[in-house]
Structure formats: C-alpha cells, structure tokens
Amino acid sequence: MNTIITQNSSSGEYLSLLEKKYKAQKNYVYFLDDLKATLKFSETYQEPHFIIVKDGENVVGHCALILDHNLKEGEAFFGFFDVIDNFNVFTTLWQSLLKLAGLKNIKLLKGPINATAWHQYRVMSYGGNSDFFKTELFSESYYYDFYKTLKPDKEILYLSGFRENFKFLISVTEPAYKEALKAGFSIEEIKNLSTEQLKEILDLSKIVFKENWAYTDFSMESFESLYSSQKLSANLNKIYFLKNENKIIGYLSSLIEDENVLILKTIAVLPEFQGKGFGNALVHKAHKDALEKGFKKIIYALIREDNNIKNFPKEEAVVFRKYSTFEFEV
C-alpha cells in the first residue's frame, strides 16, 4: 500500500476508481459529467491538493484538501472522497489528509464536499437500497460508519423524500397560491434559461443562502462554470420564478428524472417575503403542473433537516435517504 500526494490533477486515476465502483449505477453518466465539471471548477477557482492511495497499480482511495479563499483563515474543505470498503485504506487516506492539513496550517476541516456546498456533497447515512437520482452524489453506506469512528465535532443532517399522491398537498397549498396572485404576485415558468436569468438566480441565492453551513461566495464566471444556462436548460423540467412588480423574489427548480418521476430541487424566497406563504405558492404550482403532466412521483432532493421546508405538509411524504456532512477540528 502506498500514498501519493500531489498538487497536480489526479482526475484520470480518480475517475478510474469511480468507474470501477459506480459504472453500473443508473444516472452514472449524469453523475460523471457533474463530477468532471466540479473538478474543473475546483482546479480553476480553488487550490485542491489531491491524495491517492494505491494498492500496487490500483487506485483504492482518493480525496482532496480544498483550500478556498472564501473560507475563514485556518479552515478548508475536504472532498472528492472515494474509497474501497476497507477501513485500513480509509485510515491511510484520512491520516494523509490530516498530515497535509497540518502542513497548510488548517485547524478546521469541513466535508466531504466536492468543491463547494453549492454542489455535490454529503455522505449517505440511511437508505442505500434505491437508485441514486440525478444531482445526487453517489455514495456508499460504509462511508458514514467510517467517518463516525473519527468522532466528528459537528454533524449536519440532510434528507431526501418522495410523494406519490399530490392531491392533498395541492389542496392545502392552494389558498397560498390564490392569495399570492390576488396580491399582485405572478409565477413565471422558464424552460430555457438566459444568462441574465442565471445571474438573477445567483443574486437571489446569495441573499437567501448566505447564512447556510459552509456557504462560499461565487462570481458569475465561476457560477456559470458549474451551472451554465445551456446545461441547466438541457436537464430542466422548469424553473418557476415568483415575481413582484417584475422583480424575482423567489424560485423553485424542477428536474426530470424519467417520464414518471420529477425532482424538486432548490426552493428559495427572499428573507423579507419568507413566512408569508410564497414558498407554498411555488410548491402548489409545481405540484399542480406535475399532476397535469402525468408524473407519478415527486422527489424532494437533498433538504437540510432544519430547513423551513419542514413546514410544508408532510402527509403522504416518505423519507427514503438521509445524509450527513461533518466538521473536524484538527
């Protein structure tokens, strides 16, 4: 067993490990395209230091110490973390990461995160019996067990759920939708995003999510490198913009998993409009459209457990996956 630490890109060897582990998975091509974009982003806008563990010529473990100037001094991300089901390999990888963090004067590690908390991250802690959906990071159930042996100083919890009966939710959110329209608000449906609309999404997201765990700022250039309007439009069902006097005050994005399944992703409403039913208005519109188009199932993707999404009706919704991210004082 040997360990290689390098500042240069190790993407070729890393991708070979991912192919061995995940090639048979549904949505592997989508996952791989996203991951390649994230690696390119990290190499362009951050300072990643890759670590590879090999057994002979075979890559058996990979991770990166990710230095980001947006983080506080002494903090760093760790990510691009994949390892075979072998605790000794995991330990070798982790000890190498700690050694490298020490050389860089890092006192707090956050992760596992692939580049930023805006993109693929989290470790699956529950629910490994179903296919990974689009935008979900492929993971292994044993990762969580490995990380927990390290006794993390903080654990941040997420979940994904689904609903197969939309009628109840549509009925209880209808009053909020009608009130929003009565008050002069409108909901615009967008399929093909322009660069200007992408910028509006970024500007609104910066305001809504700036207090989120592991938040880092984005320039428009770096944001486009991950979420180009062409890429988003290719995979979108719709983005719903909530508008007031032609100003976007909130949005909800939806993605098609297949002909029967719709994924609801980000929902964001400006702070001054939160708690007034506008989130429910967006949810109502998205679910009503899904019902009319014949979708049989809606997935609610990667929700922070203490997010206000909890206030939406939970009846007939099923949590099928849970995830965690961590902080380690080193």
Structure pTM? 0.90
272-298 pLDDT, tens digit each: 999 999 999 999 999 999 999 999 999
pLDDT at 236: 80
Give the residue from 34, 110, 112, 121 showing the smallest Cα distance to 70.
110
Integer angstrom CA distances of residue 165 from 3, 67, 288, 316, 318: 51, 44, 11, 7, 11
- Cβ-contact 79, 111 below 8 angstroms: yes
Query: Per-residue pLDDT for 4 more than 80?
Result: no
What is the 3-class SS of the chain, one letter each residue? CEEEEECCCCHHHHHHHHHHHHCCCCCHHHHHHHHHHHHHHHHHHCEEEEEEEEECCEEEEEEEEEECCCCCCCEEEEEEEEECCCHHHHHHHHHHHHHHHHHCCCCEEEECECCCCCCCECEEEECCCCCCCCCCCCCCHHHHHHHHCCCCCEEEEEEEEEECCCHHHHHHHHHHHHHHHHCCEEEEEECCCCHHHHHHHHHHHHHHHCCCCCCCCCCHHHHHHHCCHHHHHHHEEEEEEEEECCEEEEEEEEEECCCCEEEEEEEEECHHHCCCCHHHHHHHHHHHHHHHCCCCEEEEEEEECCCHHHHCCCCCEEEEEEEEEEEEEC
Higher per-residue confidence, 265 vs 119: 265
Tens-place pLDDT, residues 6-44: 655 557 788 889 998 999 999 999 898 888 888 888 988
What is the pLDDT, as a whole number, of residue 297? 96
pLDDT band of residue 250 (cuts 50, 70, 90) is very high
Q: Which domains does the chain have, with CATH numbers?
A: 2-158 (3.40.630.30), 165-295 (3.40.630.30)
Under the banding of pLDDT at 50, 70 and 90, the label for residue 310 is: very low
**pLDDT tens-digit readout, 50-70:** 999 988 888 999 999 999 998
Q: What is the CA radius of gyration of the chain?
A: 20
State pLDDT tens for residues 137-161: 898 989 999 999 999 999 999 999 9
